[in-house]
Amino acid sequence: MDLARRTVLVAGLGISGAAAARALLAEGAHVLLTDAASPAVVGELTDAGASWLGALDTVPEGTELVVTSPGWRPDAPLLADAARRGVEVIGEPELAWRLRIPGPGGTPAPWLAVTGTNGKTTTVTMLEAILLAAGRRAVAAGNVGRPLVEVVTARADDGTPAYDAVAVELSSFQLHWSSSIAPAAAAVLNVADDHTDWHGSFAAYRDAKARILALSPVAVADAGDPVAAALVAGHPAPVTVTVGEPAPGQLGVRAGVLVDRAFGDDIVLLDRTELQVPGPHNIVNALVAAALARAIGVDADAVRRGLAGFRGGAHRNVLVATVDGVDYVDDSKATNPHAAGASLAAYPRVVWIAGGLLKGADVDPLVAAVASRLAGVVLLGRDRAVIAASLARHAPVVPVVTVVSGDDDRVDTSAEATMTEIVEAAAGLARPGDTVLLAPAAASFDVFRDYAHRGRAFADAVRALG
């Protein structure tokens, strides 16, 4: 992609937007900047040659390309104006795809791409562990945190690409703004009600997820998720995973052993007891990571070593402490009902900490499914009343404590103090053998800075109990 002397507008200067601007400047583009950003970021980029335009509702004359951050909705005035003018709008992952550096054989490093409502980060970091165990110079990037433009333009000391395989996490927002990304293998883990406020409908959200498969020669999905399975069903090379006995063309579990019947004939991968992360959803994540790695020829022993050594990420089903016989588990990353359901299914008797911003998601199916596991519930956040009403319908005998937060009547109470109150209430409902589980089924921004802040506050409050 020749960007020299082309005029490119970068909309949004968060982590991915700032990285895109740096990459564009390195390519010799005339870079325009818009949206709020810290003075330090603006100063750095303008010192490097970019032009800061402040807030914009229309595309400046002469703009040939817009690179948007994932938070910008398609109906934002600036992006709508670009569409009217016929100016192409892409996201940072699409820009990265177009800027890839050829390797020694003339081919850029393959991308192994993962999307889904839940489990994306766990799966791509599992995949990264497998690739590293196979001796690949691999990295996890994209929605997992590190911008893809930094990865694809990085060079080793000898001038060759720094990485020879990339485990790519892509959100529905990023995929909406992608058109030519062609991973060597791609997976849709699951598709559940989420982000309909951004996409406008569930169908549009589903279709954005499906874009990851369009140009990939191998399509992977969880056979247990009907929407994801349907998306890969019509693909020329579908591969599905199952937590049960695998059929030909599947990866699955036989007598407690993960087995590959898609890329080999009953190839044993590892015993499920070797996985250090709990829950059936993590069996699915491991099988999908294995399928993507096997699709590019990674051997079974590397799959075993990578998965057996994987310990999971922060705020994803992490046991914080055991206090008075009660386990306290942080799954603050469970920011929608589908993720919370997977987490709740891993424990037989739970005091559930839930609530926040539901983003338009329907919580009723989750509450109905987990009602029998609930020993108690502590609710917080702006949409707590929605969950409370669902509990009244489906779990009327379960004790519920509401900690008021996310409203004006708590403006003088810090997030940390609120979480201390929540944890103390949960401890009062729990008995030895129970699990107090922070799996809010909702976003955190009404009370906390982000899900990581929420998880840290939970861990601090739990340690204070001890």
Give per-residue pLDDT as tens, 309-346.
Answer: 998 766 778 888 999 999 999 999 888 898 898 889 88
Percent of the chain at pLDDT above 70?
96
**71: CATH:** 3.40.50.720
Q: Dig out the tokens for 190 from the structure.
A: 């699951």
- Comparison of pLDDT for 61 and 41, the residue scoring more: 61
Closest C-alpha among 448, 398, 392 to residue 426? 398
Summarize the confidence of residues 166-172 as an average pLDDT: 95
Last-in-domain residue among 93, 114, 144: 93
**394: CATH:** 3.90.190.20
Q: What are the pLDDT digits (tens) for 386-436? A: 999 999 999 999 999 999 754 444 444 588 888 999 999 999 999 999 999
pLDDT on residue 325: 93
- Comparison of pLDDT for 344 and 194, the residue scoring more: 344
Contact 380, 394 (CB under 8 A): no
* Statement to judge: residues 349 and 394 lie in one domain: yes
Domain count, the chain: 3
- CB count within 10 Å of CB 392 equals 12
Q: What are the pLDDT digits (tens) for 340-384? A: 988 898 899 999 999 999 877 889 999 999 999 999 999 999 999
pLDDT on residue 112: 98
Helix (H) or strand (E) holding 188: strand 185-188
Burial 163-192 (b: 16+ CB within 10 A, else e): bbbbbbbbbbbbbbbbbebebbbbbbbbbb
* Statement to judge: residues 120 and 153 lie in one domain: yes
* Statement to judge: residues 371 and 421 lie in one domain: yes
pLDDT on residue 413: 59
Q: Dig out the tokens for 255 from the structure.
A: 């007598």
- Comparison of pLDDT for 154 and 406, the residue scoring more: 154
* Statement to judge: residues 110 and 76 lie in one domain: no
* Statement to judge: residues 89 and 118 lie in one domain: no
Strands 185-188 and 219-222: parallel
Q: Residue by residue, what is the 3-state secondary structure of 310-341?
A: CCCCCCCCEEEEEECCEEEEECCCCCCHHHHH
Contact 438, 454 (CB under 8 A): yes
**CA atoms of 354 and 445, how far apart (whole Å):** 14
**145: CATH:** 3.40.1190.10
Domain with 49 in it: 7-93
* Statement to judge: residues 19 and 58 lie in one domain: yes
The type of residue at 404 is: V
pLDDT on residue 219: 98
Is the pLDDT assigned to residue 451 strictly greater than 90? no
Closest C-alpha among 62, 96, 98 to residue 82? 62
- CB count within 10 Å of CB 276 equals 12
Given pLDDT bands bounded at 50, 70 and 90, which one contains residue 302?
Answer: very high
Query: Whole-number mean pLDDT of the chain?
Result: 91
Contact 371, 377 (CB under 8 A): no
* Statement to judge: residues 193 and 266 lie in one domain: yes
